[in-house]
């Protein structure tokens, strides 16, 4: 153990573009978690990392130090292999909801530990909390028991998992240092590796509605996380997927649950079905289960059975009516033609303005709020037909949501959606 380290020397080293030593990284992550290094000092270091970057060795050590700040889960007692998926987030991205029960229906165990949404739309937990009675909180014992009996869990990550990340994440949010690829990759992977899954499939979004707008940044993030997984002994693969257009036909909380249930019932929008099956195949392949086609488990109702058990096991009523917003507003097409563009960021912003997301941690979200669009990119539309339906309990929010959508769509003579999966890394 190194003594006499002080935070300033570590900050200076990175400020001047030096590689941090293992000892420096271990010390500062631990000291920050304990409160011996101040927020001011850690935010200075985070800014230095954002501007100077970290190499593969530094990122691997930083991630290991964040994992070491807390406990690790152990799934070795399970009879099924464990595999998880992480999406970097996008508009209308409800894929976890049908995917976890689908993969479980094929025989793997899916421990999907999720966080709360910060940003445009609610996170996975916010969506599921629209289901009457459903609870995101499970003890480790309950989580293991449910993985054993049902095969899938979507729940809140316990405070004991990578506490360094929880602290650093909140700090990055208010200091303009969220965008660092090294810090994003280590944040995601420290939680996923501490979670103890044997394999991991990453869905790295790219485009207008994604955190990574450019192909180049999305690729770098994907490769960095795949390398981190490899260096930690977790089989990791990443798909680069398009997020210029939103996924499915809804963004919101209850709206997206409804759409997910439609997918599990054998219907739902084609793009959501496609990505769910593509990711399910990757997850099953990652644990050597290539003899089962997830498309069959979706078609024959097995995935729906697991969904019902998974929701019920966490106190939810899978048969209950989902909450609906009290107010709706329809936006009609102004001309006839083809929906050539639907900007994911505009839809996301409108969804957030209607009350489906939160501005700061701890805020409540509206279960029923959100945006429905009635055409996919590439579909024909006629003048006067409903193009969007806005949902909210607070109608005073509607004008701002309409304004967010104003330049977010184009009707032209022709147009088609870009392919969903851009590339595979790993």
Distances (CA, A) of 249 to 27, 245, 327, 423: 48, 10, 19, 24
To the nearest 10 degrees (0 to 180), the angle between helices 56-68 and 215-231 is 60
Residue 363: which residues within 8 A CB-CB, separation 6 or more? Answer: none
d(CA 244, CA 342): 8
DSSP H/E element including 132 = none
Distances (CA, A) of 189 to 52, 83, 90, 236, 311: 21, 14, 18, 10, 27
| 3-state helix vs strand vs coil in the chain, percent to 5 | 45, 15, 40
d(CA 366, CA 130): 9
> What's 162's DSSP letter?
-
Distances (CA, A) of 417 to 90, 267, 305: 16, 20, 32
Beta bridge partners of 241: 205, 421
Name the residues annotated as catalytic.
86, 165, 172, 187, 191
């Amino acid at each position: 153990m190194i003594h006499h380290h002080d935070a300033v020397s570590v900050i200076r080293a990175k400020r001047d573009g030096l590689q941090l030593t293992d000892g420096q990284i271990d010390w500062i992550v631990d000291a920050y978690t304990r409160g011996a290094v101040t927020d001011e000092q850690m935010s200075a270091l985070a800014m230095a990392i954002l501007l100077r970057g970290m190499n593969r060795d530094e990122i691997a050590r930083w991630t290991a130090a964040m994992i070491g700040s807390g406990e690790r889960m152990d799934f070795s007692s399970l009879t099924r292999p464990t595999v998880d998926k992480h999406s970097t987030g996008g508009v209308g991205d409800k894929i976890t909801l049908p995917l976890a029960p689908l993969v479980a229906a094929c025989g793997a165990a899916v421990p999907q530990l999720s966080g709360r949404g910060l940003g445009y739309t609610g996170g996975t937990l916010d969506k599921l909390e629209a289901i009457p009675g459903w609870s995101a909180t499970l003890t480790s014992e309950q989580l293991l028991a449910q993985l054993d009996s049902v095969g899938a869990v979507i729940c809140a990550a316990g405070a004991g998992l990578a506490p360094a990340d929880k602290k650093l994440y909140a700090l990055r949010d208010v200091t303009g240092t969220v965008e660092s690829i090294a810090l994003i990759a280590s944040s995601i992977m420290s939680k996923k590796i501490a979670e103890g899954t044997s394999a991991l499939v990453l869905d790295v979004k790219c485009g207008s509605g994604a955190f990574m707008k450019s192909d180049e940044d999305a690729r770098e993030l994907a490769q960095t996380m795949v390398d981190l997984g490899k260096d930690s002994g977790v089989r990791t693969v990443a798909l680069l997927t398009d997020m210029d257009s939103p996924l499915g036909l809804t963004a919101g909380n209850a709206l997206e649950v409804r759409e997910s249930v439609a997918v599990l019932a054998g219907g739902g929008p084609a793009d959501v079905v496609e990505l769910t099956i593509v990711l399910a195949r990757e997850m099953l392949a990652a644990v050597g289960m290539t003899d089962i086609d997830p498309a069959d488990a979706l078609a024959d109702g097995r995935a729906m059975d697991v969904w019902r058990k998974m929701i019920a096991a966490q106190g939810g009523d899978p048969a209950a009516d989902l909450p609906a917003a009290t107010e709706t507003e329809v936006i009609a097409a102004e001309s006839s033609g083809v929906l050539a563009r639907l900007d994911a960021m505009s839809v996301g912003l409108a969804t957030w303005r209607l009350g489906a997301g939160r501005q700061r941690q701890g805020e409540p979200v509206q279960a029923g709020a959100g945006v429905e669009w009635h055409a996919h990119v590439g579909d024909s539309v006629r003048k006067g037909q409903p193009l969007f339906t806005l949902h909210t309990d607070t109608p005073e929010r509607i004008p701002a949501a309409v304004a967010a959508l104003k330049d977010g769509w184009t009707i032209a003579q022709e147009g088609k959606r870009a392919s969903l999966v851009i590339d595979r890394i790993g």
